[in-house]
């Protein structure tokens, strides 16, 4: 960050810190905080400043401190050594058991034992007659008095650097805390690292600029309802926020990316004047294939592998007059001028139920009820007997439709595809290639040049054969068209496995990007 | 749609010109072909998209079509002339595999390459056009070893033995059907037959058991063979004629002299009792000239139509008003005049037509269900739900057993490929539960929804099922409660202008006492409740979940 950015976004605590510390050549993170800043806040502020590069570490020092333990605190009022000496002076020679009895409730017997031991060692107490103890007259109690003073001092100061004690006291602390073990010691020595810090040139520059900006540390951080109510915000400035920091991630309601893509396509088709068709997931072979002039016993039907329904296996009837007309067209061509396929049409097979295998079934069903002129589309979920892999989902969508009109012919068919290329795929470069569909003649495929992948098939179309339209009572030319949405969607969404279009877990979904509309 | 491989040198010879890949790709428009790159050996791979043009499924066929475009159409003389041999058919074949035919090809130098090509053509024809040999099967033999006449007989499988290709010892027909790889693969075509077809020559040597496997004695062709006997059997006479015409023209293109063979039937056929092959197919189409302009949207003159179609390999006569168009003998795909019009457009080149935008005014409209679904989706997103979009063909166990409802009637697939994709969802709830089960590591809370189609089993419906549009919402997080989701449901109802009534109910997938039917004016339009822990376990969900599902069709 630049100094001016830092200066503009200093937190009020930072301002207060800098007001107090900027003038010092160096400081420590143990130094007393300035007014209005707690110790904890000071440490936080120093961390912020370190992160921004305003402050740097000069050196890291380890310092040892001494303080009283609970036991130590309990002896501030009097140590067992001085208490024993004073009591012996008052009582004269007595057995140890008498002393223990005397101090019951104040010191434990082991403490009395240790105090006697220490007094003996210092030559202040000696064994008298009959297993008694007696005070040595004129003996000095000075070391024990010094120890008591140290307790007093530590009690008052709380925590003192070890280095601040006299050599004697230091030894006392080290001895007291080491020899008697932790649980019984009077003193606790801790060590702390203290960092020596100073402002960097960047920090100085930032602070200089902050002063020029008039940053006082009194800026408003959060505007509260109270400030609004009492008007205390007036005359104050507001701390600027740092918007460079990454905000927390939001979980929000959101459309599914593939669904959103299909919405886009629907919107395009609506804009182009298409009316939507919807149908059933379970269809008869009649509407799925026969009505589309796909012969019942031809390889075109073999490649068209479908899922059959287990129960019921057949529909009860097929709507008339369509059933008879289609049968006639298949076998002899009927009144269409066609030869037909020349086989005996199987009505039973027509009634067989399948999972819809192609979106064109919607067009087949719509023909006899369609308006002329009319433009129709359907985005239909379809099913094929395919191994599920990166290019085959268990079910998938086809976008298909029809256009009826007296002016429909091959060149308007090309025109429609050109419109799709320009409006739906936004691809100005295209070429048309001959194609084969059992239900259209002529048939055409449109290829577009995609900026990333090069030439790709956008869709296929054709003019419905008379064998398809005549049985439905339609006697105007009808364009049948289909768009290959899967690949367009995968490119729009940046995917390379078709199964990811139907992403079914939140982690993937939340990562996925939504398609953008133009 | 067959994909064939073509040796580039062989193709250049057949075409009389070498094409680079770009030029090949462009010219493949003439045969609705798609260039699929090269294989490891450097051969072109070409996919042929027209299932009605088996004549194009070979290097010879593609080259023939491309040559015609340059006015180098070849007329084949062998569709007339006296037969040089005879096949005699036994009457019992009428009910088994009634049609047989053949021709002789002489003076051919069979090379490794041409042999591979011939086998490929034969296989593509038998597999795709002949529907895996059921409709048409083809056999090729060494002509010199055959003594005419050949007999097409029907025999009991235990009655006859011969040595099939790929074996060293004679086997009974029964053994071949049971054990020979081709018997295993294609035996189904003859399953249940008391007698099976057999071709034997006058000397009693076996040619083959059609449509299964040739004999080793007569039916093995090796590089260096000059004279071939090409035979086909079929269930449909016209398919048989077409297949043999194609093979004859392919071999003629490789320099063979084709001679006809006569088949003598003891029963009537659409072409009489004596059929000489190859022969012309009467597939001429009469088409008024005006049809071209009407269908294509551009003016077409008679001379142009005549010239362009001739260059597509047809014979055309034009009387000033109508054209009589006879396709080559390798084609039987003209069913209607529109087929001729497409050939004209392909031969002229699609790039020569200027696209014209449709001018009719029409109004765009959404289906009411889609519009309603969209409204619901917007509300749900506004409520902070994340949308799912699931596959709906799934497993029976995830739809029924996992919801503690193993008897649930479903729309199921009869020809299951994979049990994971064997039934259509009847509710969206299992899809959302499956998604939740996969989302344990995603930050909570999880608020999921999906709208879309389901298939509800219904005996009374014409197709045994109804396609309905549902909405399902699922809430899952450590503190998820009915009250939280109830608030969402209430908001949704209010936005849709509906007043729901919740009536306590029992559903196996929901916890008793925490399940309600959603009613609208007394009609059940969905359910609402807390998901049963056993269901959560089945979907590997480790937090409580509450859900509602609404049947949108009933609410519109």
Flag whether A285 is in a domain. Answer: yes
CATH domain B85-277 topology: Phenylalanyl-tRNA Synthetase; Chain B, domain 3 (3.50.40)
CB-CB under 8 Å, B359 with A504: no
Q: Are residues A220 and A347 in the same domain?
A: no
CATH 3.30.56.10 domain range(s) in chain B = 3-69, 286-350
Beta bridge partners of B208: B199, B214
Q: Are residues A425 and A286 in the same domain?
A: yes
Q: Are residues A157 and A207 in the same domain?
A: no
CB-CB under 8 Å, B435 with A505: yes
A453 to chain B, closest Cα gap in Å:
16
Please report the ipTM that was assigned to this predicted complex: 0.91
Whether the upstream peptide bond of residue B499 has omega within 30° of 0, thus cis, is: no
| Structural domains counted in chain A | 3
* Region B502-523 average pLDDT: 96
Q: Whose CA is closest to A385, among B415, B337, B87? A: B415
Interface probe, candidates A328, A339, A434, chain B, greatest B C-beta count within 10 A: A434
Per-residue model confidence (pLDDT) at position A467: 97
- Is A156 or A182 the better-scoring residue by pLDDT? A156
Task: Tell me which residue in A281, A302, A374 faces B362 most closely, judged by beta carbons.
Answer: A374
Report helix, strand or coil for B446.
strand
Flag whether A62 is in a domain. Answer: no
Assign A186 a pLDDT band (cuts: 50, 70, 90). confident
Q: Got the DSSP string for B456-523?
A: EE-TTSTTSEEEEEEEEEEEESTT--HHHHHHHHHHHHHHHT--EEEEE---TTEEEEEEEEEEETTE
Q: Which helix (H) or strand (E) holds A198?
A: strand A187-199
Tokens at residue B174, please? 């029964």
Q: Are residues A343 and A467 in the same domain?
A: yes
| Residue A518 pLDDT > 50 | no
CB-CB under 8 Å, A405 with B411: no
Instruction: Please list every residue in chain A whose beta carbon sits closer than 8 Å to the beta carbon of residue B411.
Output: 281-282, 309
List pLDDT tens digits, range B438-463.
999 999 999 999 999 999 999 999 99
Instruction: Please list every residue in chain B whose beta carbon sits closer than 8 Å to the beta carbon of residue A383.
Output: 393
Interface probe, candidates A285, A441, A503, chain B, greatest B C-beta count within 10 A: A441
| Residue B194 pLDDT > 80 | yes
For B215, which DSSP code?
Answer: B
Of A238-242, B15-19, B141-145, B291-295, minimum mean pLDDT range: A238-242
A518 to chain B, any CB pair closer than 8 A? The answer is no
| Residue A281 pLDDT > 50 | yes
Q: In this structure, what CATH number is given to the domain that contains residue A398?
A: 3.30.930.10
Flag whether A435 is in a domain. Answer: yes
B254 to chain A, closest Cα gap in Å:
28
Q: What is the mean pLDDT of chain B?
A: 94
Whether the upstream peptide bond of residue A386 has omega within 30° of 0, thus cis, is: no
Instruction: Please list every residue in chain A whose beta carbon sits closer than 8 Å to the beta carbon of residue B462.
Output: 315-317
Per-residue model confidence (pLDDT) at position B28: 95
| Residue A242 pLDDT > 80 | no
Tokens at residue B393, please? 């063909």
Per-residue model confidence (pLDDT) at position A298: 67
Beta bridge partners of A352: A314
Q: Whose CA is closest to A382, among A398, A366, A401? A: A398
Assign A299 a pLDDT band (cuts: 50, 70, 90). low
Task: Given CATH 3.40.50.300, say whether it is the number of domain B368-554.
Answer: no
Flag whether A36 is in a domain. Answer: yes
Residues 467-496 of A with CB under 8 A from B: 467, 477
Of A262-271, B69-78, B188-197, B461-470, minimum mean pLDDT range: B69-78
Give residue for tokens 């073990």.
Answer: A181
CA distance B495 to A158: 67
- Is A158 or B477 the better-scoring residue by pLDDT? B477
Flag whether A241 is in a domain. Answer: no
Assign A492 a pLDDT band (cuts: 50, 70, 90). confident
Per-residue model confidence (pLDDT) at position A184: 57
Task: Tell me which residue in A253, A299, A338 faces B336 most closely, judged by beta carbons.
Answer: A338
Task: Tell me which residue in A254, A280, A342 faces B463 most closely, judged by beta carbons.
Answer: A280
Q: What is the mean pLDDT of chain A?
A: 88
- Biggest CA–CA distance in chain B, Å, is 92
CA distance A11 to A47: 13
Look at residues A213, A230, A247 and tell me which one is the last residue of a structural domain.
Answer: A230
CB-CB under 8 Å, B29 with A374: no
Per-residue model confidence (pLDDT) at position B493: 96
| Alpha carbon distances (Å) from B367 to A257, A277, A336 | 22, 7, 33
Per-residue model confidence (pLDDT) at position A178: 46
Q: Whose CA is closest to A172, among A139, A149, A140, A141? A: A149
CA distance A407 to B294: 9
With a pLDDT cut of 70, the percent of chain B lying above it is: 100
Look at residues A138, A169, A193 and tell me which one is the last residue of a structural domain.
Answer: A193
* Region A112-128 average pLDDT: 85
Highest mean pLDDT among A301-310, B31-40, B422-431: B422-431
Q: Are residues A48 and A137 in the same domain?
A: no
Per-residue model confidence (pLDDT) at position A179: 47
* Region B149-161 average pLDDT: 95
* Region B303-321 average pLDDT: 94
List pLDDT tens digits, range B87-131.
999 999 999 999 999 999 998 878 887 888 888 889 889 988 888
Tokens at residue B255, please? 């320099």
Chain B residue with Cα closest to A295: B52
Per-residue model confidence (pLDDT) at position A453: 77
Per-residue model confidence (pLDDT) at position A176: 62
What CATH number does domain B3-69 carry, 2.40.340.10, 2.60.120.380, 3.10.450.50, 3.30.56.10?
3.30.56.10
**Domain B286-350 class in CATH:** alpha beta
Q: Report H helices in B163-220.
A: 173-179, 181-186
No. of helices (H) and no. of strands (E), chain A: 22, 15
Per-residue model confidence (pLDDT) at position A444: 97
pTM: 0.79
Q: Are residues A83 and A17 in the same domain?
A: no
Say if residues B124 and B3 touch (Cβ distance below 8 Å).
no
Assign A35 a pLDDT band (cuts: 50, 70, 90). confident
Per-residue model confidence (pLDDT) at position A368: 96
Say if residues B278 and B244 touch (Cβ distance below 8 Å).
yes
Q: Are residues A481 and A397 in the same domain?
A: yes
- Is B215 or A97 the better-scoring residue by pLDDT? B215
Per-residue model confidence (pLDDT) at position A360: 95
Assign A516 a pLDDT band (cuts: 50, 70, 90). low
| Residue A302 pLDDT > 70 | no
Q: Got the DSSP string for B16-82?
A: TS---HHHHHHHGGGGTEEEEEE-TTS-EEEEE--TT-GGGSSHHHHHHHHHHHTT-----STTSS-
CATH 3.30.930.10 domain range(s) in chain B = 368-554
Per-residue model confidence (pLDDT) at position B405: 95
- Is A213 or A41 the better-scoring residue by pLDDT? A41
Residues 138-197 of A with CB under 8 A from B: none
CB-CB under 8 Å, B238 with A388: no
Q: In this structure, what CATH number is given to the domain that contains residue A121?
A: 1.10.10
Q: Are residues A77 and A17 in the same domain?
A: no
Chain B residue with Cα closest to A340: B335
Of A487-496, B6-15, B237-246, minimum mean pLDDT range: A487-496
- Is A183 or B209 the better-scoring residue by pLDDT? B209
């Amino acid at each position: 960050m630049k100094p001016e950015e830092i200066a503009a976004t200093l937190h009020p605590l930072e301002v207060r810190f800098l007001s107090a510390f900027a003038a010092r050549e160096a400081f420590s993170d143990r130094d007393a905080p300035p007014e209005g800043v707690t110790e904890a806040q000071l440490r936080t502020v120093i961390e912020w400043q370190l992160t921004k590069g305003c402050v740097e570490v000069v050196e890291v020092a380890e310092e040892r401190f001494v303080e009283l333990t609970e036991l130590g605190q309990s002896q501030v009022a009097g140590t067992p050594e001085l208490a024993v000496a004073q009591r012996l002076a008052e009582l004269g020679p007595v057995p140890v058991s008498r002393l223990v009895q005397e101090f019951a409730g104040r010191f434990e017997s082991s403490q009395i034992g240790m105090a006697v031991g220490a007094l003996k060692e210092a030559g202040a107490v000696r064994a008298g007659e009959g297993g008694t103890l007696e005070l040595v007259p004129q003996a000095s109690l000075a070391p024990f008095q010094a120890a008591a003073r140290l307790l007093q001092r530590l009690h008052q100061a709380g925590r003192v650097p070890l280095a601040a004690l006299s050599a004697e006291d230091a030894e006392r602390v080290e001895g007291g805390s080491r020899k008697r073990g932790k649980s019984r010691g009077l003193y606790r020595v801790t060590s702390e690292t203290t960092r020596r810090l100073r402002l960097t040139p960047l920090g100085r520059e930032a602070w200089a600029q902050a002063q020029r900006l008039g940053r006082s540390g009194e800026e408003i951080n959060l505007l509260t309802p109270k400030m609004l109510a009492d008007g205390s915000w007036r005359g104050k400035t507001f701390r600027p926020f740092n918007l460079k920091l990454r905000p927390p991630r939001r979980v929000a309601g959101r459309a599914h990316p593939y669904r959103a893509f299909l919405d886009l396509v629907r919107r395009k088709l609506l804009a182009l004047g298409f009316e939507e068709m919807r149908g059933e997931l379970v269809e008869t072979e009649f509407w799925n294939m026969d009505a589309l002039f796909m012969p019942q016993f031809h390889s075109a039907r073999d490649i068209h592998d479908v899922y059959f329904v287990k129960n019921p296996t057949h529909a009860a009837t097929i709507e008339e007059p369509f059933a008879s007309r289609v049968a006639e067209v298949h076998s002899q061509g009927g009144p269409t001028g066609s030869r037909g396929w020349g086989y005996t049409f199987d009505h039973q097979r027509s009634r067989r139920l399948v999972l819809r295998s192609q979106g064109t079934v919607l067009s087949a069903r719509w023909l006899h009820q369609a308006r002329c002129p009319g433009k129709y589309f359907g985005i239909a979920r379809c099913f094929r007997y395919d191994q599920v892999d990166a290019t085959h989902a268990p079910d998938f969508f086809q976008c298909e439709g029809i256009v009826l009109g007296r002016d429909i012919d091959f060149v308007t068919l090309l025109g429609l595809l050109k419109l799709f290329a320009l409006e739906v795929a936004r691809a100005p470069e295209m070429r048309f290639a001959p194609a084969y569909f059992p239900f259209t003649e002529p048939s055409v495929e449109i290829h577009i040049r995609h900026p990333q992948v090069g030439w790709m098939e956008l869709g296929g179309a054709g003019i419905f054969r008379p064998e398809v339209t005549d049985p439905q009572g339609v006697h105007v030319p009808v364009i049948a068209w289909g768009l290959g949405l899967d690949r367009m969607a995968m490119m729009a969404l940046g995917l390379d496995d078709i199964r990811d279009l139907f992403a079914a877990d939140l982690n993937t979904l939340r990562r996925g990007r939504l398609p953008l509309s133009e | 749609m067959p994909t064939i491989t073509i040796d580039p040198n062989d193709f250049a010879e057949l075409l009389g010109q070498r094409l680079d890949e770009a030029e090949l790709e462009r010219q493949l428009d003439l045969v609705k072909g798609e260039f699929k790159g090269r294989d490891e050996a450097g051969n072109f791979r070409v996919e042929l998209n027209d299932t009605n043009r088996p004549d194009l499924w070979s290097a010879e066929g593609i080259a023939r079509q491309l040559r015609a475009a340059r006015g180098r159409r070849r007329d084949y003389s062998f569709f007339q002339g006296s037969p040089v041999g005879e096949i005699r058919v036994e009457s019992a074949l009428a009910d088994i595999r009634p049609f047989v035919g053949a021709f002789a090809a002489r003076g051919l130098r069979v090379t490794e390459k041409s042999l591979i090509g011939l086998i490929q053509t034969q296989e593509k024809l038998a597999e795709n056009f002949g529907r895996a040999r059921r409709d048409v099967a083809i056999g090729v033999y060494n002509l010199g070893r055959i003594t005419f006449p050949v007999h097409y007989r029907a025999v009991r499988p235990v009655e006859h033995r011969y040595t099939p290709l790929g074996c060293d010892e004679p086997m009974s027909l029964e053994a071949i059907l049971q054990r020979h790889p081709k018997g295993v693969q294609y035996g189904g075509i003859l399953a249940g037959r008391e007698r099976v077809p057999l071709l034997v020559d006058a000397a009693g040597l076996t040619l083959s058991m059609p449509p299964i496997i040739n004999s080793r004695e007569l039916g093995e062709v090796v590089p260096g063979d000059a004279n071939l006997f090409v035979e086909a059997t079929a269930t449909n006479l016209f398919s048989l004629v077409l297949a043999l015409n194609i093979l004859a023209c392919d071999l003629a293109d490789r320099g063979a002299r084709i001679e006809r063979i006569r088949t003598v039937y003891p029963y009537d056929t659409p072409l009489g009792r004596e059929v000489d092959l190859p022969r012309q197919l009467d597939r001429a189409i009469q088409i008024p000239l005006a049809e071209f302009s009407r269908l294509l949207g551009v003016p077409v003159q008679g001379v142009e139509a005549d010239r362009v179609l001739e260059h597509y390999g047809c014979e055309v006569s034009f009387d000033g008003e109508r054209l009589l168009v006879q396709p080559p003998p390798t084609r039987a795909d003209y069913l209607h005049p529109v087929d001729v019009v497409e050939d004209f457009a392909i031969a002229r080149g699609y790039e020569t037509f200027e696209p014209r935008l449709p001018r009719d005014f029409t109004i765009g409209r959404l289906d009411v269900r889609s519009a309603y679904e969209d409204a619901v989706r917007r509300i749900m997103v506004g409520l902070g739900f994340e949308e799912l979009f699931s596959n709906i063909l799934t497993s029976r166990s995830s739809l029924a057993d996992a919801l503690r409802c193993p008897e649930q009637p479903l729309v199921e697939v009869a020809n299951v490929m994979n049990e994971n994709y064997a039934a259509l969802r009847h509710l969206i709830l299992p899809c959302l539960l499956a998604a939740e089960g996969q989302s344990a590591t995603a930050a909570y809370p999880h608020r999921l929804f999906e709208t879309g189609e389901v298939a509800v089993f219904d005996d009374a419906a014409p197709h045994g099922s109804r396609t309905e549009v549902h909405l399902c919402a699922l809430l899952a997080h450590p503190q998820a409660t009915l009250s939280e989701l109830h608030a969402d449901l209430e908001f949704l109802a209010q936005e849709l202008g509906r007043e729901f009534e919740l009536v306590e109910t029992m559903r196996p997938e929901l916890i008793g006492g925490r399940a309600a039917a959603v009613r609208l004016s007394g009609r059940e339009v969905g359910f609402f409740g807390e998901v049963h822990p056993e269901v959560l376990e089945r979907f590997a969900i480790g937090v409580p979940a509450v859900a509602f599902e609404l049947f949108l069709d009933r609410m519109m």
